[in-house]
Chain A
Amino acid sequence: MDLLALRSELKRLIIEALDLRGRTEADIDDDAPLFGDGLKLDSLDALQLAVALEERYGLEVPEGEEGRRIFASVSALAAFVASKR
């Protein structure tokens, strides 16, 4: 699966797992921050997303600084998921 399709899939996963009612893929910019600004997700969302990622891709997101880098944006997340394949 190419990176474009993966980013798209991840956006759908984020919307579904985090109950972002009323949001579409078009609302989520590839490089926009997910946490803090941008989508304004919080640490509860980070946990929920980590569980959803493990469920879908069998991947464990590391904690701490590395985890924060991976969750920085959809692009960063897609790069991480692709690298584990």
Chain B
Amino acid sequence: MLERVAITGVGMVTALGLDAATTFAALVEGTRGFRPLTLFDPRDARARIAAEVVDLDLPRVAAALPNGDISRTDALAVLAAREAFAQAGQSSRRLGVCVGGTTGGMFETEQGLLAGPLDRIDPARAARLLSHPLDLTTARVAEALGGAVRTATLCAACSSSALAIAQASAWLAEDSVDVALAGGADGLCRLTFFGFDALGALDPEPCRPFDVTRRGLGLGEGAGFLCLERESRARARGARILAWLGGAAVGAEAHHITHPEPSGKRAAELVTRVLTDAGLTPRDLDYVNAHGTGTEQNDAMEARALRTALGAETERVLVSSSKGQIGHTLGAAGALEAAVTVLALERGIAPPTAGLSTPADAGLRHVLGRGVAAPLRAALSCSFGFGGTGAVLLLQRADAPERPRAEVHRAPGPAHVVVTGLSAIAPFGVAAGASTARTALAAPPAPGGGLAVDPVAELDPERSRRFDRGAALLTSLAVRALADAHLDAPGVGLVAGTAFGSVERSVRFVLRAAERGVRRASPADFPHLVASAASGNASIYAGLQGPALGLAGGRAGAELALQVAASALRDGQAPAFLAGAAEGFDAIVADVLGPFRSGDHSVPRAEGGALLVLELANEARARGVRTAARWLGSWSIADGDAWPTPPPGRGARALVITTGLAAEHAAALARGGWGEATRRSILEQSGAHEAVSAIGLVVAAAAVLAGDADEALALNGLGQELWVTHFRREEAVA
């Protein structure tokens, strides 16, 4: 039976305080954290306030780290992560760190950008965005905690860190880690402040969630982390259990990049599902910490969703939003508000919705003014983001009795992960299905990195307006991969590696706002600048309703995406996932990074990407799939893990596809029993970019699916580490 997930530590840094207890006490008092902005000049923006963190001693946080240069976001993350970890009193363990975020080091990049002329882009100043990608925050946290065996950096706009918590929970369930530090961090920056203001989404006054006079959101910053572990381990070491993570329901709406679907039916489904999965009904629920941003669209939708899902219990269940006090902390919101909910359960106090005096939406039982003491047995924490991906987390008080989880109907047979479809776009061509391998292996070297097909021209112009190239590529790939696997879209999730997001467009947006004013900024560009814009847009276009996530993983984005998707699949978060990576041409990336470098080699920079369709073997078989490529794992050799088991005996046709392979690794490969395998590099045909290993993965899997090989490895030796992925052919999956 699946073990319960215990929460043994909580860490929070917000405008209300630098630790969890201080913030919670202030929340209960009804204290509001909004102040005039000091971090940067709001210029002509309509809003001039934010819930800024005060007294953050960046140099002091930096001094305690091995490498002193950290961003504001990193510092917030490290502080909160340390607090959670320390509270949990962890000793030796296999630690996983899963972080959600949206802006990373953007504030520091802006400082650099604005130190020079505003009317043109100075690549050298923009370079910082490339040297401080979103996943650097995760690396800093892992470093601060003494190292992690597994990490992931997820971006799904405002639901990023709630999804990180759901992902970490899956890691515990499958036993890939013993302890997980899951959460998120986002520091304030001009990009998000000017962006939301240009959309008219910011309230010039401190926000008023659910109030009749609500006028928009109030931005905040902060970091929140939960320390999670399996019940048996927590009890064995005598840890204090603060609360239980009873479950997580995640999914997307396939509706619009900024507007939630007004009926709230998807959100209501998530609420119902998280309760039902845990064997509970609305009668067992006592409190909901809502997303409650203060925008008309979100609050109205969310109120409808809660009334639908809670039914008659709507009159009894307490509801509040913390955003009236800590602001909307974007990537950190999911985790910070989950932390608030944990403390609410632990102390038996439901915090209020500050800024709310006259509720607009009939029926909900709002907590007004100050926190109210009440027995809280179970609570929900809701997060709904741009691009429509939402998460509802279930938290339960520490004394909750163990209850059998709902019966999950599983198809008969083994439930390992298999590949049932794929697609790739590269200079060598566009392919879906088995033909991919043959096309790639037979193609001439990439001429100037130009793609065989224009992904932008392929899409319906009305539905793909303002997509940048990365989004267009990913969308094309998603549509093809789904078709190749003969899968219907509903329920399918997406995890897509993206190394840098939309660099040029973000820089252009900030410079234009700084030079010409926020009123002249380009509002319609802003929703496309988040690192999750490509996955959000692709999921909406393709009609996907499973969770849609961007993953920041540099040159191993595709492999990390596979890992994340596989964990989510095993955890039952969706019946299938599209997983891989795509990089579209970006002028600043090309200018600053130039040709792609790996060791001594310099390969022309290209664009492209690839996606694999992942399912559980038993479910694929149940819907009639006869041939699949079993995914035996993706891992980094630098971790000290072994080489993959060599192909069994003679006669097994083995293929090794490489995107960069150093001489010493080639030698180790031979020693590891793979010397007889056919080895091909696809780098010359694909050109190189941060997502090229995705193409290698797809070529390897395609060869297996087509019957050209029984076993295949995809080796990605482009970064410091060597990533290995192993596929094996399976017929009539038993």
A residues at B contact (CB < 8 Å): 18-23, 40, 42-45, 47-48, 51, 54-55
Contact = CB atoms under 8 A, between A and B. Distances in A.
Contacts of A55: 520
A44 B524 contact: yes
Given A20-B461, A21-B461, A48 B522 contact: yes
Contact of B523 (A22, A23, A40, A44): A44
A47 B461 contact: no
B523 A51 contact: yes
Nearest to A40: B462
B465 A19 contact: yes
B61 interface: no
Contact of B521 (A20, A40, A45, A51): A51
A45 to B, nearest CB: 7
Contacts of A51: 198, 519-523
B200 interface: yes
B519 A44 contact: no
Contacts of B259: 42-43
22 contacts: A18-B465, A19-B465, A19-B524, A20-B465, A21-B461, A40-B462, A42-B256, A43-B259, A44-B199, A44-B524, A44-B527, A47-B198, A47-B199, A47-B200, A47-B524, A48-B522, A48-B523, A51-B198, A51-B519, A51-B521, A51-B522, A54-B520
Given A19-B466, A51-B519, A54-B519, A45 B524 contact: yes
Contacts of A19: 465-466, 524
Interface centre among A19, A23, A40, A54 (most CB of B within 10 A): A19
B254 to A, nearest CB: 16
Interface string B98-141: 00000000000000000000000000000000000000000000
A42 B523 CA distance: 13
Contact of A21 (B256, B465, B522): B465
B439 interface: no
A11 to B, nearest CB: 16
Contacts of B31: none
A42 to B, nearest CB: 8
A62 B520 CA distance: 16
Nearest to A47: B523
Interface in B251-298: 256, 258-259
Contacts of B200: 47
A55 B520 CA distance: 7
A18 B198 CA distance: 15
Contacts of B258: 44
Contacts of B462: 40
Contacts of A18: 465, 524
A18 B60 CA distance: 47
A48 B524 contact: yes
Contacts of A21: 461, 465
Contacts of B198: 47, 51
Contacts of B519: 51, 54
A65 B93 CA distance: 61
Contact of A22 (B461, B466, B522, B524): B461
A45 B38 CA distance: 32
Contacts of A20: 461, 465
A51 B519 CA distance: 7
Contacts of B520: 51, 54-55
A21 B256 CA distance: 19
Nearest to A49: B524
Nearest to A22: B461
A22 B200 CA distance: 29
B655 to A, nearest CB: 41
Given A21-B465, A44-B258, A54-B520, 8 more contacts: A18-B465, A20-B461, A21-B461, A22-B461, A44-B524, A45-B524, A47-B523, A51-B521
A58 to B, nearest CB: 11
A17 to B, nearest CB: 9
A43 B256 CA distance: 11
A54 B198 CA distance: 13
B704 to A, nearest CB: 39
**8 closest Cβ pairs, A-B complex:** A48-B524, A47-B523, A21-B461, A44-B524, A22-B461, A19-B465, A19-B466, A48-B523
Nearest to A43: B259
Contacts of B527: 44
Contacts of A44: 199, 258, 523-524, 527
A55 B259 CA distance: 26
A18 B466 CA distance: 8
A45 B523 CA distance: 9
Contacts of B256: 42
A22 to B, nearest CB: 5
A22 B456 CA distance: 12
Interface in B450-495: 461-462, 465-466
A24 to B, nearest CB: 12
Contacts of B461: 20-23
Nearest to B257: A44
Interface string B505-548: 00000000000000111111001000000000000000000000
Nearest to A60: B519
Interface centre among A20, A51, A54, A55 (most CB of B within 10 A): A51
Contacts of A40: 462
A60 to B, nearest CB: 9
A42 B256 CA distance: 10
A73 B489 CA distance: 36
Interface string B190-214: 0000000011100000000000000
Nearest to B466: A19
Nearest to A50: B523
Contacts of B521: 51
A53 B498 CA distance: 35
B300 to A, nearest CB: 15
Nearest to A48: B524
A19 B522 CA distance: 12
Nearest to B200: A47
Interface centre among A18, A42, A47, A55 (most CB of B within 10 A): A47
Nearest to A21: B461
A44 B201 CA distance: 11
B216 to A, nearest CB: 13
A23 B523 CA distance: 21
A55 B256 CA distance: 27
Contacts of B466: 19
Interface centre among B519, B520, B523 (most CB of A within 10 A): B523
A21 B461 CA distance: 6
A48 B199 CA distance: 9
A23 B524 CA distance: 18
A28 B610 CA distance: 38
B582 to A, nearest CB: 20
A61 B431 CA distance: 48
A31 to B, nearest CB: 21
Nearest to B462: A40
Contacts of B465: 18-21
A1 B461 CA distance: 32
A60 B472 CA distance: 33
A19 B463 CA distance: 11
A54 B517 CA distance: 12
